[in-house]
Amino acid sequence: MIRQLSASWFAKLLGGILILLATLTNGAIASDFPEPFSQSQLENSARIESNGHLVLFSPVREVNNEIRSETMARLPVSGEGRMYQLNRDASRDQARRHYQRLLQARGATTLFECSGVRCGRSVIWANRIFGQAMLNGRDSEQDYLVAGSLEEDGTRWLTLVYTVTRGNLREYVWVEHLKLGDRAVVPGFGTVSERVFGPLIVPYEAGFTYRFDWATSDRGNLRERASEEGALVVLVGFSSLGPEESLDDSLERARGAAESLSEILARIGISPEQQKVLVVGPLIPMENPGRQGDRVEVTVISR
């Protein structure tokens, strides 16, 4: 009996110590730059300080020399980017799994990931997104992920990991670890309040009908969040103000878009009773470049 009690007491004590260490460690390492993959060598690093750093949460494409992505944001960040070259006997797959394990241990949430040609053209990621020509490689042999982690004090971090195989078969990893500004709005990664999800930015084109530019994954995430008991879905309609356009016309365009998107949400299972539609039009300009023009911003507020 004494031995059983001693063993039970020891197990509880050990468990408590492990939980305490995990808590302290997670709080401490969220801000640390991710440990490099052991079979890689640091090639260069760059300090990143920006009020509008471009981060993509969907595949990239280029149209008329402009970067296009279904979900992207220009964010206030401070941090660092580092490029590593993999040893010849290592692989991108091993490096990717290494960083995925690190992020999982930190409790990070993967906001988007892609691989191969689904990511878009490697040359755009290399030159237009990261500004690192060495990352220009094979479109079929690349992958990208972006994850968000949260410290106990509410500080938010983004970690971006991009790997690629170049034409000479050398393989590289680019890692960005970024502290987010207090007012940064990150698609799929809420603010300090865990009750708020969003806003999800849904651009639209107005014509005979409204055409919305959003990904299937966005709809799935929104439906999942809205399925929680007591969740409220708020749709806010924004619009630009054309040179010859009246304020009333601009507001009406924003109203039509918000109501049209509301009907779409109803068809995918989000009842009108749990939705609230607000119309702002051009009346509240946003400084964030990712929150400009004709769009509906969708936010889910849990009970």
The answer on pLDDT for 1 being more than 80 is no
> For 60, what's the count of Cα atoms within 13 Å in the CB-facing half-sphere?
26
162 and 69 in a single domain? The answer is: yes
Q: Is 225 found in the same domain as 160? A: no
Indicate whether 85 and 158 sit together in one domain.
Answer: yes
- What number is the average pLDDT over the span 194-218? 83
pLDDT surpasses 90 at 47: yes
Least confident of 80-84, 183-187, 205-209: 183-187
CB half-sphere exposure, 236, CA atoms < 13 A: 16
Q: In this structure, is residue 20 part of a structural domain?
A: no
Structure tokens at 152: 């106990």
pLDDT band at 192 (very low <50, low <70, confident <90, very high): very low
- Please give the C-alpha separations between residue 125 and each of 99, 101, 136, in angstroms, as whole numbers: 19, 24, 8
Nearest to 198 by CA among 214, 175, 178: 214
Q: Is residue 4 part of a domain?
A: no
Where residue 55 falls among pLDDT bands split at 50, 70, 90? very high
Residue 272 has pLDDT above 90, yes or no: yes
pLDDT for residue 4: 42
- Is 185 a domain residue? no
Alpha-carbon distance of 6 to 2, in angstroms, equals 6
Residue 30 confidence class, pLDDT cut points 50, 70, 90:
low
**What is the spatial distance between Cα 161 and Cα 55, in angstroms, rounded to a whole number?**
12
Q: Convert the pLDDT of each residue in 124-144 to its tens digit.
A: 999 999 999 999 999 999 999
Final residue before a domain boundary, out of 120, 146, 180? 180
For residue 29, name the pLDDT band (cuts at 50, 70, 90): low
Q: What is the pLDDT of residue 169?
A: 94
Report helix, strand and coil shares of the chain as percent, to nearest 5: 30, 35, 35
Instruction: Determine which of 25-39, 137-151, 216-230, 243-257 has the lowest per-residue pLDDT on average.
Output: 25-39
Q: Where does residue 158 fall: left (phi above 0), alpha (psi -120 to 50 degrees), or beta otherwise?
A: beta
Residue 54 CA: distances (Å) to CA of 68, 218, 235: 11, 19, 25
- Residue 223 predicted with pLDDT over 60: yes
Cα separation, 85 vs 27, whole angstroms: 29
- List the beta strands (DSSP E) in the chain: 40-56, 61-63, 66-68, 72-86, 109-115, 142-150, 156-165, 171-180, 196-206, 210-212, 232-238, 275-281, 295-301
What is the distance in angstroms between the CA of the first residue and the CA of the last residue of the chain? 48
- Contact between 204 and 294 under an 8 Å Cβ cutoff? The reply is yes
pLDDT value at residue 201: 87
Confirm whether 282 is domain-assigned. yes
Does residue 19 form part of some domain? no
Position 24 in a domain: no
Assess whether 221 and 148 both reside in one domain: no
Q: What is the pLDDT of residue 296?
A: 95
Q: Are residues 273 and 214 in the same domain?
A: yes
CATH at 266: 3.30.1330.60
Verify that 91 and 224 share a domain, yes or no. Answer: no
Asked if residue 26 belongs to a domain, the reply is no
Residues 147 and 208 in one domain: no
- Percent of the chain at pLDDT exceeding 90: 59
Q: Is residue 92 part of a domain?
A: yes
Pair of tokens at residue 250: 């601009």
So what's the pLDDT on residue 152?
66
Where is the domain boundary, 180, 212, 236?
180
Domain interval for residue 244: 196-301
Residue 94 has pLDDT above 90, yes or no: yes
How many angstroms separate the CA atoms of 15 and 103, rounded?
A: 23
User: Quick check: 252 pLDDT over 90?
Assistant: yes
Residue closest to 33 by CA, chosen among 142, 119, 157: 157
Residues 117 and 221 in one domain: no
Same-domain check for residues 80 and 143: yes
Residues 65 and 146 in one domain: yes
Q: What mean pLDDT do residues 185-194 have? A: 65
Domain co-membership, 156 together with 60: yes
Residue 229 vs residue 8, higher pLDDT? 229
Residue 3 pLDDT more than 70?
no
Pair (169, 207) in one structural domain: no
Number of domains making up the chain: 2
